[in-house]
Amino acid sequence: MRYFIEFAYNGKNYHGFQSQPDASSVQETLEKALSTLFRESITIVGAGRTDTGVHAKQMFAHFDSELELDSDYWSHKLNSFLPPSIVILKIFQVSDEAHARFDATSRTYEYYLHTFKDAFISEGSWYHSNPLDIDKMNEACSILMKYLDFECFSKVHTDVSTFNCKITVAHWQQKGNQLIFTITADRFLRNMVRAIVGTMVNIGLGKIEVADLHHIISSKDRGKAGFSVPAHGLYLVNVSYPYIEQHN
């Protein structure tokens, strides 16, 4: 039987979601816990990758098991077994053809930065002391949705067949001393959100003009875009599927 697992994690101590040699990952930690408790070898397929230090408030993965699983019982059991940095939200059966990565129709990320030093949020938000023009940054957001090819924001030497992503939501909002960037697309390239935020920060600082974003995107040159902001302010907050009702 195929199951989806919905979970969240603090990425501080992990080298991203995906398993890799000689580095701690969320996938490896989950697979070890599932295999130990279910007493069978479990391999999970995630909805996507997150880079080292990036967090997820909502992530999905699928796995196959011979067991009939009760969601409440096994969620509680797994949460007791897993480290505090990973939380199981739900386990539920899906069709045998359901796929956590390929069936996802959109993903939403949020990036948090704060403009006044704060001792209580610094581990999950990037401290940027210089004032930013949020109106210009939001003006730049409207430009993003006019394009499909975002090679200029992609990590170089990445193994993808296309750099096309359909962005449907992009905006900044201010809550006190904190700025939150929200972006939704059908897919994301490696390092894409952090590179977009870095470019937006340069616009907010007045280092580049809003109109320059057209030339940056058209260039397809990572070197022309902005710096990559630190990973600890980035969160995957939503993954959507046509057959899963969103509850948050």
Give me the residue label for tokens 């699928």.
62
101: tokens are: 């990565």
- 90 beta partners: 6
Q: Give the integer Cα–Cα distance in Å for 203 and 200.
A: 5
Q: Give the integer Cα–Cα distance in Å for 132 and 217.
A: 22
Helix, strand, coil shares of the chain, percent, nearest 5, are: 25, 25, 45
Q: Give the integer Cα–Cα distance in Å for 75 and 69.
A: 10
Q: Give the integer Cα–Cα distance in Å for 83 and 215.
A: 45
What is the distance of C-alpha 34 from the center of its chain? 23
Active site residues: 51
Q: Give the integer Cα–Cα distance in Å for 118 and 80.
A: 32
Interhelix angle 26-38/71-81, rounded to 10 degrees, is 120
130: tokens are: 């210089």
User: In the 8-state DSSP scheme, what is residue 46?
Assistant: E
Give me the residue label for tokens 């403009």.
115
Interhelix angle 212-219/134-144, rounded to 10 degrees, is 40
